[in-house]
Amino acid sequence: MKKIITIIGARPQIIKSAALSRAIQTKFKDELSEVLVHTGQHYDEKMSEVFFTELGLSKPDYNLNIGSGSHGVQTAEMISGLEQLFIDEKPDAIVVYGDTNSTLAGAIAGSKMGIPIVHIEAGLRSFNKSMPEEINRIMCDHVSTLLFSPTKTGVEHLKNEGFKLDNEAPFNADNPKVYHSGDIMYDNSLYFSEKSEENREILKEFNLDQSPYFLATVHRGANTDHPKKLKAIFDAFFEVMEQHPEHSIVLPLHPRTQKCMEQHFEEGYLKSIQSSPQLKIIPPVSFLTIITLEKHCELVITDSGGLQKEAYFFKKPCVILRPETEWVEIVEQGVAKIVDADKDRIVEGVKEMMSKRDVEFPLLYGDGKAAEFIAEEILKHC
């Protein structure tokens, strides 16, 4: 029996980990055991309990309770806590997801102890090193043993950084293996799509079952920490609603976004947001509920990396409130538009993407069996 330790620290990583955990439980439970570790990077006990239950996940075996802090302090505390845990648990491999500080901490702590690192979502690049996530991705990839890229583009990025694609086993950090595995979030979207229909009541609750709407999310620090950018986004929302009077905009409001609005928006402007019949601001929602909202909307407007991709899974055009994206395929396919936090570009982007609702959405992210493939390769090579 081989043992892996899975490191999670942010809500999207809980969702991502569900796919691999499910594959292990259904096909490999006699060969592979998983220890789930939450760093506490983003952890709300009440929200997380609901979240784990909803996704059918066991609660974490460990929670380091690191909490918030500067990048340096947070990452250092995680490395220290994980190092002792790895000594105690003696895993055969460490599995990390994506690009958070938890990802980097797991990769550094494990690699320095000679434990193979398995990086899921390897090879993604925004080519913007002012983003902390970009630094995390690059550093994590370069100490990993097994690198699972969700896209062909990701594989090409790794090749351009010097990774060889024809390495032979045995694999290690100096002789790593790069895979085009497909995307575990596509696995999840297929799996949870049917289950999400149980949450259709939210459509009636906000009068969305009979009227068209756009789904919007705004949470990245690059937007929320800059009042001018955030106001430009809301100015664009008002103009979009004026141009599309039959549509509403549904905005699950992230606490960070709400805090910035309350601190920096004038009282009159805040009241106009709160009183708008077309702008439906709702509390943060669960993963299954966001899937329900995605499936039934006409367009997604977001600065979330995950939501961009899920929009594609559910064949929805997307307007991206960022200056770049790691998911370049959806832009190249012509069903997503990068507009940053620029009012005029957002408005034009919505107009352009509304004309793309009948275009093709070919399979770019695998066949929905990425997690099963990843589990098999971990068993073979760790």
pLDDT in tens, 152-171: 999 999 999 999 999 999 99
46 pLDDT higher than 60: no
From start to end of 91-164, where are the E strands? 93-97, 117-120, 146-149
Q: What is the pLDDT of residues 323-339, one digit of tens each?
A: 999 999 999 999 999 99
Which two tokens mark 177?
A: 């293996």
Catalytic member of 42, 119, 180, 219: 219
Domains and CATH numbers, the chain: 2-183+366-381 (3.40.50.2000), 188-355 (3.40.50.2000)
pLDDT at 88: 98
User: 34: which residues sit within 8 A by CB, 6+ positions away?
Assistant: 3, 4, 5, 6, 20, 21, 24
Find the mean pLDDT for residues 39-68.
79
pLDDT at 309: 95
Average pLDDT, the chain: 94
Which two tokens mark 30?
A: 């006699």
pLDDT at 47: 59
- Any catalytic annotation for residue 142? no
Please state, in angstroms and rounded to a whole number, the distance separating the CA atoms of residues 367 and 380. 21
119: which strand partners?
96, 147
196: which strand partners?
none
45 pLDDT higher than 70: no
Q: How many CB atoms lie within 10 A of CB 160?
A: 10
More confident residue, 11 or 350: 350
Question: Order of strands across the sheet with 2-8?
Answer: 62-63, 32-38, 2-8, 93-97, 117-120, 146-149, 177-180
